[in-house]
Structure 1
Amino acid sequence: MANKNLQDLLQELNTLNCSGMYQNDFFLTWEKTLDELKATWTVADALRYLREHNISTKVFDSGLGISLFRDNSTRTRFSFASACNLLGLEVQDLDEGKSQIAHGETVRETANMISFMADVIGIRDDMYIGKGNAYMHEIVDSVKQGYEDGILEQKPTLVSLQCDIDHPTQCMADAAHVIHELGGIENLKGKKIAMTWAYSPSYGKPLSVPQGVIGLFSRLGMEVVLAHPEGYEVMPDVLKVAEQNAKESGGSFHVTNDMKEAFADADVVYPKSWAPFAAMEKRTNLYGNGDMEGIQELEKQLLAQNAAHKDWCCTEDRMNLTKNGKAIYLHCLPADINGVSCEEGEVAASVFDAARDSLYKEASYKPYVIAAMILLAKFKDPAKLLAELEQKGTKRKFAE
């Protein structure tokens, strides 16, 4: 996809069957076909091309994008707002503390009340196992019924901005970056990516990034390695997804408890902390029972468990083990940087500093990926629409 003009991108888009994305939602990457994933990256590149050539991409004259963040966010929050604005939608954040949810308002009622003029709903709900993805489906079921019953004039599209299982917008942006860095999606086949646990002085980081990475990059014919200390396992169901994906794509997938083995000859590395699946399940149950003493005890146990693995850090020595010592370093940010954001953490300051520009480019793909997800869900013929935008040539920024 690198350095393609709009006509190249539209020709590529016309070869892809992405009709299943129309009037649909985006929950997990492995629920989409490979053509649909490729279409998302292609439309993202097309939107970026138009914006960089000062052509307006406002395909909505009015409408809302509703955001609901049940966890803190910088990049994803602003990426969703940027994506909606890029397409002509205004953003309204649903602050549950200022809503009637605390007074007993049901999910179905909330979903319909916020959706009268909403075209898209973006939700981050990643903290509790078995909850986030299920909540998003309940929202979709509610607005679908509202639309079918004639309450809503349109069914808003839901885009998962991270759930307990997957972080599709992040991982799709990660992949877009790797595709561009390696000169095209065809060049990912046979390349090795190491998704490795790394030490953090905090304990409750979600599983959705490592799970999303192994669930997506295994679709692309890569040699995917998941590395973590014993006891930091991810969801068994996602391991099965990665194994099956690797078989179908001609790649490979395996798990190791050796960080050096994972880094050896890797083309891409993704050192990132996460909490053990079993512990996150226990944490969810403790919160559900209101057991605050149990939560505090679990936190102490997990912090002590983390501290036993401080050697799981992305250092210059580890990076030198990678392909020619020049692997692409990925991170969803913010990283726990040694001597900067913490005393000891996921990555050495020298490694992070060397990769800083690349990391920021990685993050820059997320607004376009989200916008592409929205556009593909809302317009039946995206290639025609994008061509009309270029032909119309409305300037985004008027001449100074």
Structure 2
Amino acid sequence: MSVLRPMTARGREESHRAATPLELFFDLCFVVAVAQAGRQLVHALAEGHPQHGIPGYLMMFFAVWWAWMNFSWFSSAYDTDDALYRVVTLVQIAGVLILAAGVPRAFDRGDFTAVWFGYLVMRFAMVSQWLRAAHGAEGEERTTALRYAAGISLCQVGWLGLLLLPGHAKPWVFLVMAVLEMCVPPIAEHRHQTGWHPHHIAERYGLFTIIVLGETVSAATVAVQSAVDEHGSLGTLLPIAAGGLLIIFAAYWIYFAVPIHLHLASNSQAFLWGYGHYPVFVSAAAVGAGIEVAIETATGKAHIPTTAASAAVTVPTALFMLTVWLIHSRHQKRGPAQQLVLPVSAVLVLLCTFAGNRAVLAAGLVAAATVVVGVTLTARRAAREQDA
């Protein structure tokens, strides 16, 4: 490994472009932040405060997701894997851990100091990466890198509003700054597209989806174990555990049922697809939190209506199905039957909310049936095309 090498753009047609061990390590460290956001959502929903818990969860998850996005697209375009690049990436990971440590205070007290400082550490590293890319580039490529560095720096200053403005203004500051953040990449790449690799980006998003689903499995498993240890009510918990497992397995199958890298041919398609993954990731992680809430309600630890506890699972499950279809699966589906599977299943999952104590199991069965129907329709179409 070289200590320092020129940071030149990677090629979009580069063969064998795959995620590196450093990128996998980077993703793994985000599990801590995802778990913190999910844990705070569980507490808020179980205590009957969705009006506080859901907006707080959405804001914290955006902060986590956007930090991951910034690095993932940059690394796809400029990964040099020299010593300096690795050190700067490890600094970014330190910022992620600082952000994760600040999530509870931001969620409960509206104190964003640690979150902002964690972002500052990550942004310092990210800006230095873009300046390094600009140093080794010329013309429009250099201008694009400098635009990224300037846009990220200005947005970081804008986030000071979370520290300086009164509490009632902070949600609006967050909303405005989130929109501005998402404007930086399209503006920066207006004249010159960075050399991100379609297959590599698709793989990176797929790996993060697996990590989020893995955190969901972990959270649900711990919740079941704790409930069994405290209450011993296995008969009550088994339908929830079985339904939750079916949902998670189905979510994995649904997401990876189609190859998507061939669809990422231009920046406009890639931006819509990449930004559209926010509800995909946020709903996948929320399923685990919902299963925990359903378990706490079933064992009497949480005192909220059964319908509300069921909705904590069915709503994110339906959102996951619908969003995956909208940005991902529909590009590979052919004919009305295939196109309608996920939207119809999302509606059926929502209806399971009113199935009482068996709502999670019913939603899991619908999710499993969705996979079976999807596989059957795909096989039939493949057979017809082969015969033709």
Fold match by TM threshold 0.5:
no
Query: Which structure carries more strand by proportion?
Result: 1
TM-score, normalising length: structure 1: 0.26
Query: Which structure carries more helix by proportion?
Result: 2
Higher relative contact order (CA 8 A, sep 6+): 1
TM-score, normalising length: structure 2: 0.27
